[in-house]
Amino acid sequence: MTAPYEIRQGASPIILGFPHTGTEVPPAIYDRLNDNGRILADTDWHIHHLYEGLLDSVTMVRATFHRYVIDANRDPQRVSLYPGQNTTGLVPETDFDGKPIWKDGQAPDEADIAARLRDFHAPYHAALAAEIERVRAIHGVAILYDCHSIRSHIPFLFEGKLPDFNVGTDMGKTCDSAIEQATLTVVQAAQGYDSVLNGRFKGGWTTRHYGRPETGVHAIQMELAQSTHLQTEAPPFAYDTAKAGMLRVHLKDILVRIEQIAPGLKR
């Protein structure tokens, strides 16, 4: 079985987290998915490639398993991130369109969920937490930049079109305001793109769990509309090199700016 995570260690104060780019589904779980589930439509397609090489010596922690196995960006206690709004859970029963992803009678039960927490969710977060501690020991500060993407139109989750850049800091709780402002400076000036701070996506469980500025650990989530870097937001979800190239300029600017202000964030 493929290891549940990949790590690339670097010397930068920034850690890139990738909880949703994995497409690995163990055969025993894949057999229980229905035809709709097997499309794996809710993947954060190509995001780890989008960020590749943008910042020298950055640490990267990536989940290799698909979110239909278990969602690495959900509370293991299953507390909803957005009470009262449509969302998907720790082990999703539906896709982002509200359509079932499991064969009849094959949805995961409590024993399945417990096993997946043990075998996938917990190891990924143990690895991520260890890298945060390693980086904080080096710099006195660690900045987790959690990388995400989603289709720009999903009526089940939100009305209308999602902005291109969706910055989430749980209303400023998960990072120093300087990190938030550095990110906003770039996205608000990016011509041809729109952006929002703490809109529909305010930062997932990862951002909220690790972001404790008072301890020297800061976290920020970037949710990108997939229209910014895919040829189409439908199968085969192909990467658009030209679109991605334009987007990467702004993503690099964000990361460089955050890295530059990191020394001033030490407790």
- pLDDT (tens digit, 9 = 90+) per residue, 188-221? 999 999 999 999 889 999 999 999 999 999 999 9
Which pLDDT belongs to residue 249? 98
Which pLDDT belongs to residue 83? 61
- Please state the φ and ψ torsions of residue 74, each to the nearest 5 degrees: -125, 150
* C-alpha dihedral (88, 129, 187, 75), degrees to nearest 10: 20
Across the range 232-257, mean pLDDT stands at: 97
85 pLDDT higher than 90: no
Which pLDDT belongs to residue 44? 98
Which tokens is 9 given?
């260690």
106 pLDDT higher than 60: yes
Which tokens is 218 given?
């800061």
Length of the chain: 267
86 pLDDT higher than 60: no
Per residue in 127-168, pLDDT tens? 999 999 999 999 999 999 999 999 999 988 888 899 999 999
CA distance 235 to 66: 16
pTM over 0.75: yes
Which pLDDT belongs to residue 89? 78
Across the range 86-91, mean pLDDT stands at: 76
CA distance 238 to 30: 22
The band of 78, judged by pLDDT with boundaries at 50, 70 and 90, is confident
The band of 250, judged by pLDDT with boundaries at 50, 70 and 90, is very high
**Percent of the chain scored above 70 by pLDDT?**
96
The band of 82, judged by pLDDT with boundaries at 50, 70 and 90, is low
| Burial class of residue 221, CB neighbours in 10 A (0-12, 13-18, 19+) | buried
